[in-house]
Amino acid sequence: MTVFKMTAAQVARKVIENQSLFILDVRNKDAFEDWKIEGHSFDYLNIPYFDLLDGVDEIIPKLPADKDVLVVCAKEGSSLMVAEMISDAGRDVFYLEGGMKSWSSYLEPIKVGDLTDGGEIYQFVRLGKGCLSYMVVSEGEAAIIDAVRFKDVFTNFAKEKNVEIKHVFDTHLHADHISGGRHIAKATGATYYLPPKDAEEVVFDYTPLEDDLTVKVGTSQIEVGALYSPGHTIGSTSFIVDSKYLLTGDILFIDSIGRPDLAGLAEDWVGDLRETLYHRYRELAEDLIVLPAHFMNIEELNEEGTVAKRLGDLVAENHGLNIESEEEFRHTVTDNLPPQPNAYELIRQVNMGKITPDNDEQTEMEIGPNRCAVR
């Protein structure tokens, strides 16, 4: 039978289009339990590669005949070998090109909606890492918010849309992934904005991103307005785009809220987090569509693959926005912090410009799920 290659982009379409897939993950059990490819209609079997060296006869009956079977490993080699063994046993099978390394890196651009006078806003969904980046497009110009490190994805997309990237923003100094913001700005001549309270240790030039800053994109005058919203970091800043969308960075997610401890200041910042969530955001229009910088699980995706929800709905449904007691809120936040993101201290150093790891080192730093939310 035949061994087929499946790309991360093809897996992403299966996730977004709610297609079925059976995944045979041949990584070690702890790696699989910590982080796997999530899909609404995916089934899984985790058998470490070393347990299959003597043959795959025992697992063949466990592989369904009525859906695609995809073998997954960390970097591709082990999955290809297992796939060839399954093929030799008489079954068609796929392997994931580039393994989980490629899955972690893949970005799927999806249109979120239309803006005034022909403008558009796009969400770049990094399914394997839970990261969400944005591009606002209007009249030949673009602004990017919270870009991940794959700058060519954004610059190539801008070329496809025939727009010039004029402004690049980071809502805060990221700790769970490496930002591509200043690198995109350098490559395109765009202005790079970073909150100054998060930038005290950076070693590069930037334009201060401060409360009430308004940047216009395109001749249609789509406003990208900044709203100081500390709590995840002391400098965290949200954006209101075209009076329709609220980009919350890592302060507010669909099913959770941001963690305040990645700079070691949870006790100091939890009060800022509550102030932002329970006061600053409550003063905003409930019809604003919340667009966060991360999602935690596949259930947060809408039918078209975007991650977005009305602020009013989140105020009603998100548990983190419905804790009446300030003391209970403080305990809920500080007592339910997940493990720190992989290499988060090093990632902060990269995003400050203090160290410059090569591409393979950056990939290793980012491997694994995002952990920006309170559980």
Specify the number of domains making up the chain.
2
DSSP state of 296: S
259 inside domain: yes
Q: Domain check: are 265 and 136 in the same one?
A: yes
Binned at pLDDT 50, 70 and 90, residue 295 comes out as very high
DSSP E strand stretches across 146-185: 164-169
Q: What secondary structure does DSSP assign to 180-225, as a single string?
A: -HHHHHHHHT-EEEE-GGG-TT--S--EE--TT-EEEETTTTEEEE
Q: Domain check: are 57 and 75 in the same one?
A: yes
For 136, the domain range is 107-366
C-alpha 133/C-alpha 123 separation (Å) is 6
Percent of the chain with pLDDT over 90: 85
Strand pairing partners for 245? 241, 289
371 inside domain: no
What residue type is assigned to position 158 of the chain? A
pLDDT above 80 (res 17): yes
Q: Domain check: are 169 and 316 in the same one?
A: yes
Q: Domain check: are 192 and 301 in the same one?
A: yes
The catalytically annotated residue of 12, 15, 56, 73 is: 73
pLDDT digits (tens, 9 = 90+) for 93-103: 999 999 999 99
pLDDT above 70 (res 262): no
**What is the pLDDT at residue 51?**
96
Q: Domain check: are 89 and 114 in the same one?
A: no
pLDDT digits (tens, 9 = 90+) for 207-217: 999 999 999 99
Q: Domain check: are 153 and 70 in the same one?
A: no
C-beta neighbour count of 107 within 10 angstroms: 24
C-alpha 332/C-alpha 324 separation (Å) is 11
State mean pLDDT over 287-291.
98
Strand pairing partners for 109? 124
pLDDT digits (tens, 9 = 90+) for 275-288: 999 999 999 999 99
CA distances from 197 to 21, 147, 270, 330 (A): 45, 19, 16, 23
**What is the pLDDT at residue 339?**
77
CATH number of the domain enclosing 330: 3.60.15.10
131 is a catalytic site residue? no
Q: Domain check: are 181 and 328 in the same one?
A: yes
Residue 57 and residue 78 in contact, taking contact as beta carbons nearer than 8 Å:
no
For the question of whether the overall pTM of this predicted structure is more than 0.85, the answer is yes
Binned at pLDDT 50, 70 and 90, residue 89 comes out as very high
